[in-house]
Amino acid sequence: MRVPFKKTISVFVFTVYLNISYIIAQDKIPQIQLEKGEVTTAFIEAKIDSIIAILTLEEKVAMTHAQSKFSTKGVERLGIPEVWMSDGPHGVREEISWDAWENAGWTNDAITAFPALTCLAATFNPELANKYGYNLGEEARYREKDVLLGPGVNIYRTPFNGRNFEYLGEDPFLASTMVVPYIQGVQENGIAACVKHFALNNQEHWRDKINVEVSDRALYEIYLPAFKAAVQKANVWALMGAYNKFRGQYTTHNKILHKILKTDWDYDGVVISDWSSVHSTKEAALYGVDMEMGTGTDGLGTTTSNHYQHYFLANPFLKAIKNGELSEDLVDDKVRRILRLIYRTNLNPNRALGKLNTKEHHKVAREVATEGIVLLKNEENFFPIQDKKGITIAVIGENATRNMTQGGGSSQLKPLFEISPLQGIKERYKNATIIHTMGYESGDSVYDEILPATLNQDSLYVKAIETAKKADVVLFVGGLNKSHHQDSEGDDREVFALPYGQEKLIDGIHEVNKNVGFLLLTGNAVEMNWLPKTKGVLQTWYLGSMAGHAIADVVSGDVNPSGKLPFSFPKKLEDNAAHSFGEISYPGNGVDQEYKEDILVGYRWFDTKKITPQYAFGYGLSYSDFTISDVKIDQKKYNKSDTIKVTFNVANLGDREGAEVVQVYVGKHKSKVQRAIKELKGFTKVFLEKGDQKTVSISIAADELGYYNTEVSDWSIEDGNYYLYVGNASNNIVKKIKFSLF
């Protein structure tokens, strides 16, 4: 068919025009990847501006919500990569299926399980926290993740909280001091740490609906400092919202918390929702959710075709912008933060390659574990136990062989190996005879369900007593586990006492063998009516891959214990502040909850109310004897811009090397507002050879001694007299010094 000449010319001109337009458009597309010399803040921000300018609205919205259980979309036409996330705070979780809560079945996703964060907190060693974070970040990088969903910094308010083992204890100063180097270590690998759960998610029971009512003072003085340190001192790149409500509004998209985070603290990273913690398109858009994860549907409660498009920040968000109900500036801010995250992680040209399951990783895991183990009781020098011929050691208890990296919820892991306490003890003790029996049994650990035991408990009890009779020494290995209503996500504990008939078993063992030591595996305090039936107690936490080796290191004396408790152990549940006020304080009435103890959390409560704990915050024994002496401050009067310098001598009077944690607390004398008697303001871990001593100093900024003044909605520092307390536990103060601020 012939085409008229004029029409041919018109088609030709139009085709040329399209090609030229395409070429011009291509020229406008910025180079996405960076060269190593281009990694500057100004250059990256300019690059982000140029990218946002050419993204379609649909592309921008697609970046703000999940495309699978643990990933979000990139932009294919521009080469902008997807973002891949992984649980969790003490190890990189196994691969999860694209769209189901089940293992993907990979064979190359086994990792190093590091000790849970309660153990890290118990080390009181910020340098070790940095090594922990760096080695964990290396594993996340090798597994090709961009965001590691941890650490958790929710405050230990009640020993019933199922996720306390994932957090850093009851004191905001300790949590703040330990979380900063952890985050810095992770992010040195080009992996974003994601600090969580912002905020006031201090219990699992009713976590998805409970409305927390708390004073501004408690909010700012107790529950926010670790988050603030993560943002302002560690420059954390990601932060996760929480499930609960605060003052009637869900915390993931809470107007008050959004202002604090992104305006007051000037946070420039992303806010990632917890999985299914978004409840409103408008609030998520306005109050700071940048990446919506795990919602599943638009609230229908069922999975539908293309359900990721039904997320609150998916089609409903797109529609609201197109209709003019929401400004496009809102999605631009979210995309800007997401692109900033991408340039810090998977488009960072300086990013290392990562490593997995190296000897160094195992070494660090073991080091954290041994430094975090806390010697609670050592009557008649029960520990360490010598390895010598002719001695029989009975290891009794299910936790001697139970896998403690499985279960617990989102923090469960698939380690390359996990050395059990029994295996570690057997491998360390070459001369002594080691015998073992379970003593009791619980069901397997699965999420949100309690599985029954499968063995006859009476038979296990009888065999345990028979085994104890044959031994010179009994090591009872018990405590809690990662099952539902124990140390696990999804709900809280229901009883303060040891579960599974352990107290009865300890009583029975003690009747036939008085030489009993307890290896207590928990992430929480427990009731200790059984304490008089033991000569020694080691709090051994959940220690991960190297658990058994670390426990054997301390039991044998190869390592001198130096851990300190990061939270208080009450004698009875009612001694805990949250529980002392009844149901409305914990767990709430099903709708609302009031933090009636206000700022008096943990040792602040025990000190101020003159309640004696079973074991105090900061407490931990050693195989050596240490003294703290010649405590001085450099002045008696300070102005509010000064730094208070505390110096002291620490001496090791024992016959072996060891470490002591010196703790400095400060309290305001006759404050005009309610304040705790004292608050932790500094600490240092001092390592000493036998017979050695060191002069050590701790500096405290005077402007850190304020309280949150609700009358001016800001921090205030009172004039007048203060007391400085120095000791090795919150209830063991060796020196009290008076000074004044003006």
How far does Cα 238 stand from its chain's mean position?
Answer: 14
Dig out the tokens for 379 from the structure: 């009557």
DSSP state at residue 219: I
Both tokens of residue 506? 């300890």
3-class secondary-structure state, position 703? helix
Condensed to tens digits (0 to 9), the pLDDT of residues 6-56 reads 444 443 333 333 343 333 444 478 899 888 888 899 999 999 999 999 999
Q: If you write DSSP's letter for every residue of 633-679 in order, what string do you get?
A: ES-SEE-TT-EEEEEEEEEE-SSS-EEEEEEEEEEETT-SS---S-E
pLDDT score of 36:
83
Tell me which residues of the chain have a pLDDT lower than 70.
1-27, 296-306
238-241 and 192-198 beta bridge pairing: parallel
DSSP 3-state assignment of 25?
helix
Which one from 87, 109, 171, 274 is the annotated catalytic residue? 274
Name the residue ranges covered by the structural domains of the chain: 31-344, 373-564, 568-623, 624-741
Q: Return the axis-axis angle of helices 41-52 and 328-344, rounded to nearest 10°.
A: 140
Tokens of 505: 């078993």
- 86/98 Cα distance (integer angstroms): 13
* pLDDT at residue 345, rounded to an integer: 98
CATH topology of domain 31-344: TIM Barrel (3.20.20)
Tokens 């054997």, located at residue: 552
Which one-letter amino acid corresponds to residue 275? W
Supply the pLDDT for residue 303: 54
Instruction: With beta carbons less than 8 A apart as the criterion, state whether 408 and 488 touch.
Output: yes
pLDDT at 26: 44
SS3 203: coil
pLDDT of residue 264: 98
Tokens (6 digits) for 424: 């570690």
Q: DSSP secondary-structure letter at 146?
A: S
Answer whether 692's CB lies under 8 Å from 656's CB: no
- pLDDT at res. 304: 59
Give the distance from CA 152 to its chain's centroid.
3
Q: What is the pTM of this model?
A: 0.95
Half-sphere exposure at residue 378, Cβ-oriented, CA atoms within 13 angstroms: 20
Alpha-carbon distance 123 to 370, whole Å? 9
- Which DSSP string do the residues of 564-586 spell out, in sequence order? --SS-B-SSGGGSHHHHT-TTTT
For residue 156, count CB atoms less than 10 angstroms from its CB and return exposed for 0-12, middle for 13-18, buried for 19 or more.
Answer: buried
Q: Which of 725, 739, 605 is nearest to 662 (CA)?
A: 725
The number of residues in the chain equals: 742
Question: Spelled out in words, what is the top-level CATH class assigned to the domain 373-564?
Answer: alpha beta
Question: How far is Cα 25 from Cα 694, in angstroms, rounded to an integer?
Answer: 68
Please tell me the distance from the alpha carbon of residue 207 to that of residue 590, in angstroms, as a whole number.
10
The pLDDT assigned to 543 comes to 98
R_g (Cα) of the chain, nearest Å: 28
Reported as a single tens digit per residue, the pLDDT across 471-518 is 999 999 999 999 999 999 999 999 999 999 999 999 999 999 999 999
- Taking every pair of Cα atoms in the chain, the longest distance, rounded to a whole number of angstroms, is 111
Q: Can you give the pLDDT at residue 18?
A: 36
Q: What is the DSSP string of 100-116?
A: SSSB---SS--BPPPPP
Q: What would the two tokens of residue 307 be?
A: 């359900």
Dist CA 153 CA 166 (whole Å): 8
Residue 450 has phi, psi (to 5 degrees) of -105, 120
Best CA proximity match to 371, nearest among 126, 632, 670: 126
Cis preceding linkage at 248, omega within 30: no
Strand 714-716 and strand 71-72: the pairing is: unpaired
Cross-sheet strand order for the sheet of 693-701:
626-633, 643-652, 693-701
Q: Where are the beta strands (DSSP E) in 9-80?
A: 71-72
Residue 427 gets the label, from left (phi > 0), alpha (psi -120 to 50) or beta, of alpha
Angle at CA 531, nearest 5°, toward 525 and 532? 165
Contact 392, 471 (CB under 8 A): yes
475 closest CA partner among 396, 402, 540, 530: 396
- φ and ψ at 29, to 5 degrees? -70, 120
The pLDDT, as a whole number, for residue 306 is: 63
User: Tokens for 300?
Assistant: 């229908």
**Residue 20 has what pLDDT?**
34
458 is catalytic: no
Q: Which amino acid is at 456?
A: N
CB atoms within 10 A of CB 95: 16
Which residues lie across from 722 on neighbouring strands? 668, 739
Q: In this structure, which CATH number among 3.80.10.10, 2.60.120.10, 2.60.40.10, 3.30.230.10 belongs to the domain 624-741?
A: 2.60.40.10
| Phi and psi at residue 216, to the nearest 5° | -60, -35
* 473: number of Cβ within 10 Å: 20
Amino acid at site 400: A
Q: What is the pLDDT of residue 39?
A: 83
CA distance 296 to 302: 8
Contacts of 87 (CB under 8 A, 6+ apart): 93, 149, 150, 410, 411
Q: Report the SS3 class of residue 450.
A: strand
